[in-house]
Structure 1
Amino acid sequence: MKYKWLVTSGFSEINDTEIKYIPKTKKDELGDERIVNSFVGSDISFENGTIEFDVKSKDKFGICQLILNTDTGADLNIGLNTAGYLYGIVQFDRKTNKWDLLAGVGEPETFDTNKFYKVKITVSGSIISLYINDILVASTIKNVRKGQLQIAFSSKEEVIVKNFKVSLLKPKAFIVMQFSDEYNQLYTEVIKPVCESYGLEVERADEFYTATPIIQDIVKSIKNASVIIAEITPDNPNVFYEVGYAHAIEKPTILLSDVKREKLPFDISGFRTLFYENSIAGKTKVERNLKKFLDNIF
């Protein structure tokens, strides 16, 4: 597939086969020479999937990083030379105006400036992994939000990116609820069709068919999901455990509760909850409100 690229800052050259960063310097307000960074934007709208490209830098300290959007609006940079490490993942903290290292490995001095390195970045829900030459070198848990991909360059020497390829993965919604006829009907008639109308792959714990312990499957599914939808009307410890884990990793979570429940547990009473009435009219209303919640996430 042919992608569209545009130099939005600095100096880079784009042709049909590669993107080439052109090193330049300019004087700052103190008269010191500074490297001119370059940013190249694309028309690729990305949230989940795999990104692959080959990169060659004539400067072992050269920066070539893919930029992803997050649900907090802070940039997530993945690639070469992050916070002192050769390979890594960093996120910009708007409060401190600094970069936070999320994962990193390797010494820049070991980088071979005469060869291309294969970079692969995978995003599945909140699990982000960086592979170099098919070897996993860094991973972290962060929630990526759909947005157009960018590449950031900064180097004293030329940097080349080629063979750029993107494989998109359908985002997932993991549904947490008690498995009984009353709530199964809500799942099949409202939750599942609404999620699928947003292009989400819907998954529930009773649909697992693996030999691994169920808790491992649940934790993995929560991490891999883009959103969690939890029905919390009955006091079900399994449901509250899964909701707690989703909140702990800052996963976008939508809580549903029948209005017949008089009071929510203290620990979750502060979270926005979608209350519904278990009737034909009530299901129409929860369907409409669920779409509003999903609109804010996607």
Structure 2
Amino acid sequence: MKNNWLVTSGTAKIEEEKIIYIPTRGYDANGDEFNLTAHVNSDIEFENGTIEFSFKANDKSSICQLVLNTEKTPSLNIGMNTSGSLFGITKYDFEAQRWEWQAGLGNPETFEVDKEYTCKIVVLGSKVTLYVNNIKIIDSTQDIRKGQIKFYISSSNEVIISKLKVHNIKPKAFIVMQFSDEFNNLYTEVIRPICEDNNLECERADEFYTSTPIIADIVKSLNDCSIIIAEISPDNPNVFYEVGYAHAINKPTILLCDRKKRDRLPFDISGFRTLFYEDTIAGKTAIEKNLKKFLETML
């Protein structure tokens, strides 16, 4: 299916599956000239997977960045000339009304004009990795949300973007809980069906079939997943270790707790989003409904 593009600000044209930025000058309140920025929006939905594109620019100070959504807002820019780095990631803080550097490498003076560069952006859960010409540049932890991708471009000369490829991967929910019959039933009868209904691949540590150490698999899943659901009713040290790791990397997390097993939460997690439930027929209906609402809010 052919993708649709729309220039929503600045000057650019779409030609034979290429985006061509046309340099245009503007003037600020003091009468000083500056390069007008172009925003080119698409109908391509993205949250998890890989995006590749090539670009060519004739000016070392050119800005050529892919924009992704965070917390339902298009504010994460990845690409060329990000807050002083040749290649990197920058994020717009709407409250402070400024760009904030997230990660980056390279001196803009080393950019080779008229040379075609290839960017590959890999998003697995909250881990964002940028490759340039197949060379890994940076990793960054970000809360990526589903949304339409767009390009942010500015230069004193023409910029050409081409060869765009988008490969979506189904986002993953990693389930953290004690392995026992009662919690197995919660997983198979409630958590997994609700996740699958919300287009989430569901995974639990006892479903790993690898030769690597279990803790390595768990850490990888915690990093690669889009959301974590943790059942914290019993005082299980493994569960709380994984919840602590999830919070340390700012992973979106939903805590589940049986009211009859724990009347109040430990102090360190009392401020986090928690879904209390009752292990009854009526309680099953309620947790299904509330978990669905939580997932819809967070995805």
Q: How does 1:100-111 map to 2 (within 5 A)?
A: 100-111=100-111
Per-residue deviation at 1:270? 2.2
User: RMSD over aligned Cα, in angstroms?
Assistant: 1.3
Per-residue deviation at 1:280? 2.1
Aligned: 1:115 with 2:115: yes
- Partner residue of 1:283? 284
Q: How does 1:257-272 map to 2 (within 5 A)?
A: 257-260=257-260, 261-272=262-273
Residues in 2 aligned to 1:98 and 1:27: alpha-carbon distance in whole angstroms: 20
- Partner residue of 1:230? 230
Write the letter of the residue equivalent to 2:284: K
Q: How does 1:3-152 map to 2 (within 5 A)?
A: 3-71=3-71, 73=73, 75-152=75-152
Per-residue deviation at 1:219? 1.6
Aligned: 1:157 with 2:161: no
Distance 1:31 1:203, change over 3 A: same
Residues in 2 aligned to 1:72 and 1:216: alpha-carbon distance in whole angstroms: 31
Residues in 2 aligned to 1:66 and 1:196: alpha-carbon distance in whole angstroms: 29
Per-residue deviation at 1:271? 2.1
Secondary structure in 1 matching 2:73: coil
- Partner residue of 2:294? 293
Write the letter of the residue equivalent to 1:292: K
Residues in 1 aligned to 2:172 and 2:117: alpha-carbon distance in whole angstroms: 31
Contact 2:172 2:203 in 1 (8 A): yes
Write the letter of the residue equivalent to 2:97: N
**CA offset digits 1:176-211 (Å, max 9, x no partner):** 000001100110011001100111000111111222
Of 176-185 and 66-75, more deviation after overlay is shown by 66-75
**CA offset digits 1:255-291 (Å, max 9, x no partner):** 1111112222111122232111112221121111111
- Partner residue of 1:241? 241
Residues in 1 aligned to 2:148 and 2:125: alpha-carbon distance in whole angstroms: 17
- Partner residue of 1:205? 205
- Provide the aligned length of Structure 1 versus Structure 2: 298
Distance 1:118 1:74, change over 3 A: closer
Write the letter of the residue equivalent to 1:181: D
Per-residue deviation at 1:293? 0.6
Residues in 2 aligned to 1:74 and 1:198: alpha-carbon distance in whole angstroms: 22
Residues in 1 aligned to 2:281 and 2:96: alpha-carbon distance in whole angstroms: 50
Write the letter of the residue equivalent to 2:93: D
Per-residue deviation at 1:222? 1.2
**CA offset digits 1:206-241 (Å, max 9, x no partner):** 111222222222121111111110101100011111
Write the letter of the residue equivalent to 2:193: P
Q: TM-score, normalised by structure 2?
A: 0.96
Contact 1:64 1:79 in 2 (8 A): yes
Contact 1:67 1:75 in 2 (8 A): yes
Per-residue deviation at 1:42? 0.4
Per-residue deviation at 1:3? 1.1
Write the letter of the residue equivalent to 1:237: P
Residues in 1 aligned to 2:16 and 2:7: alpha-carbon distance in whole angstroms: 14
Contact 2:228 2:254 in 1 (8 A): yes
Per-residue deviation at 1:252? 1.2
Residues in 1 aligned to 2:81 and 2:121: alpha-carbon distance in whole angstroms: 15
Per-residue deviation at 1:83? 1.4
Secondary structure in 1 matching 2:144: coil
Q: Which runs of 5+ in 1 are unaligned?
A: none
Secondary structure in 2 matching 1:52: strand
Q: Which runs of 5+ in 2 are unaligned?
A: none
- Partner residue of 2:180? 180
Residues in 2 aligned to 1:218 and 1:146: alpha-carbon distance in whole angstroms: 24
Per-residue deviation at 1:24? 1.0
Contact 1:74 1:91 in 2 (8 A): no
